[in-house]
Amino acid sequence: MNTNIIIRAEGEKAVVYASDYLNKLSGETIERECRRQLDMGCKMLVVNFAETEIVNSIGISILLGVIDAAQNAGAKVIFSDVKAETIELFEMLGLTNHVMLN
């Protein structure tokens, strides 16, 4: 199982690359990495979806975990490079109530 997650952290900002890895149970690693960034003082968490074709229910659940952790840490969450279909899904499910799209 590949558990290498690409994260670029700079100051209070961290960019996490979701890839298709998000849609499996092993995607929990992304959530853990985000929590680690938040624990280290990250105040702006960017999740990049450039390499993500679709997001399934597991992916939504993991993203909700990221949102919850960020809210508890007082950090902003930004979803970037999201495909149009995925934006529709996020809007339909209400995730866009909690994050900014970029």
Partner 1 sequence: MEKQKLIHTFGALAELGHEVAHKQNFQEMIRTSLHLLLGSLAIMRGGVARYSRFGHELNMLVIRGLGEEFPLTLSLCDEDERQFLTNGLAPIEVAQAKVLPFFQIYDRSFEKKRVELLVPLVIRNEIVGVILLGEKANGEPYSAYDLEIICAMSRHIGVGIAQRNLMAELERRAEENRKLYEDLRTTYKDTVKAFATAIDCKDKYTEGHSVRVGKYSEIIAEELGWDENEVEGAAVAGYLHDVGKLTVERNIINAPYRINAKESAELNKHPAVGYEILLPIHHPYADVPLAAKYHHERLDGRGYPDGLFDKEIPYIAKIVNLADSFDAMTTDRPYKRRRPANEIIEDLQRNSGKQFAPELVTAFFKGMLKELTGENKDKRFRRLLGRDYMETEGIIPMLKNALNGISPTSSLTLVSLD
- Interface residues toward partner 1, by CB under 8 A: 25, 28, 56-62, 64-65, 67-68, 85, 88-89, 92-95, 97-98
Task: Please say which residue, 13 or 32, places its beta carbon nearer to partner 1.
Answer: 32
Task: Please say which residue, 12 or 68, places its beta carbon nearer to partner 1.
Answer: 68
Least CB distance from residue 91 to partner 1, whole Å? 9
Task: Please say which residue, 8 or 91, places its beta carbon nearer to partner 1.
Answer: 91
Q: 71: alpha, beta or left, given left = phi > 0 and alpha = psi -120 to 50?
A: alpha
- Sheet (strand 13-17) strand order: 7-10, 13-17, 44-48, 76-80, 100-101
Task: Please say which residue, 2 or 97, places its beta carbon nearer to partner 1.
Answer: 97
Contact predicate 101/82, CB 8 Å: yes
Least CB distance from residue 10 to partner 1, whole Å? 28
Q: 74: alpha, beta or left, given left = phi > 0 and alpha = psi -120 to 50?
A: left
Least CB distance from residue 98 to partner 1, whole Å? 7
> Which residue in the block uniquely carries the two structure tokens 């680690």?
36
Least CB distance from residue 9 to partner 1, whole Å? 24
